[in-house]
C-alpha cells in the first residue's frame, strides 16, 4: 500500500496523545488539554500539512519512513477526530464545567484525557479501538468511505 500514513508517524502521533494527556494530568496542567486539542485539530481543519506532530517527528524518523508499513489515511483521520473530540471534552470539563462544579469538571476533564491516553496506549500495543469503530460504522452504512458508492 503506497497510499496512507507511515506507521512510525502514526506511532509518533499516538505517543503525543499519551504524553500530552498523562503529563497534563500528572502535573494538573489544564492548558495541556487546550494544547493537545489545538495540535490534534489543526490537521483536521487545515489538512495534513498542518500536522505539527508529523513535522516534528519526520526528521527523527527519516530512516524508518521509506519502507515503512502504512495505515489507511481515512481511518487515521477518523481516529484523529476522535482524539480531538476527547481533548475538547477534557478542555470543556476543565475550563467550562470546573468553575461551576469543580468535582464534575475534574471528573469529566481528566477522565476524557485519561480515556484517550489509554486508548492511544492500547493502539501502540496493536489494538486500535478507533479503527474498530470506524470499520463497524462503515459496515453498518452509517459513514461512507470517500470514493465509495452509497448502498441502495
pLDDT at 46: 98
Please indicate, yes or no, if residue 149 is contained in any of the structural domains: no
Please indicate, yes or no, if residue 61 is contained in any of the structural domains: yes
Please indicate, yes or no, if residue 100 is contained in any of the structural domains: yes
Give how many domains the chain has, as a whole number. Answer: 1
CA distance 43 to 53: 10
pLDDT at 1: 47
Matching residue, cell 488539554? 33
Please indicate, yes or no, if residue 116 is contained in any of the structural domains: yes
Question: Residue 122: which domain range?
Answer: 5-139
With beta carbons less than 8 A apart as the criterion, state whether 20 and 37 touch.
no
Please indicate, yes or no, if residue 144 is contained in any of the structural domains: no
Please indicate, yes or no, if residue 145 is contained in any of the structural domains: no
pLDDT at 137: 97
Per-residue pLDDT of the chain (152 residues; tens, 9 = 90+): 458 999 999 999 999 999 999 999 999 999 999 999 999 999 999 999 999 999 999 999 999 999 999 999 999 999 999 999 999 999 999 999 999 999 999 999 999 999 999 999 999 999 999 999 999 999 999 998 877 666 55
CA distance 4 to 115: 26
Please indicate, yes or no, if residue 83 is contained in any of the structural domains: yes
Please indicate, yes or no, if residue 150 is contained in any of the structural domains: no
Amino acid at each position: 500500500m503506497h497510499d496512507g500514513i507511515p506507521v512510525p508517524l502514526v506511532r509518533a502521533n499516538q505517543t503525543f496523545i499519551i504524553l500530552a494527556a498523562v503529563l497534563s494530568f500528572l502535573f494538573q496542567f489544564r492548558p495541556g488539554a487546550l494544547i493537545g486539542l489545538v495540535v490534534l485539530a489543526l490537521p483536521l481543519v487545515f489538512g495534513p500539512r498542518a500536522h505539527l506532530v508529523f513535522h516534528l517527528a519526520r526528521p527523527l524518523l527519516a530512516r524508518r519512513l521509506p519502507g515503512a508499513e502504512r495505515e489507511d489515511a481515512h481511518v487515521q483521520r477518523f481516529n484523529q477526530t476522535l482524539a480531538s473530540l476527547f481533548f475538547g471534552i477534557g478542555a470543556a470539563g476543565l475550563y467550562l464545567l470546573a468553575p461551576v462544579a469543580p468535582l464534575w469538571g475534574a471528573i469529566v476533564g481528566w477522565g476524557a484525557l485519561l480515556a484517550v491516553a489509554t486508548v492511544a496506549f492500547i493502539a501502540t500495543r496493536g489494538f486500535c479501538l478507533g479503527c474498530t469503530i470506524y470499520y463497524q460504522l462503515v459496515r453498518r452504512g452509517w459513514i461512507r468511505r470517500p470514493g465509495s458508492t452509497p448502498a441502495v
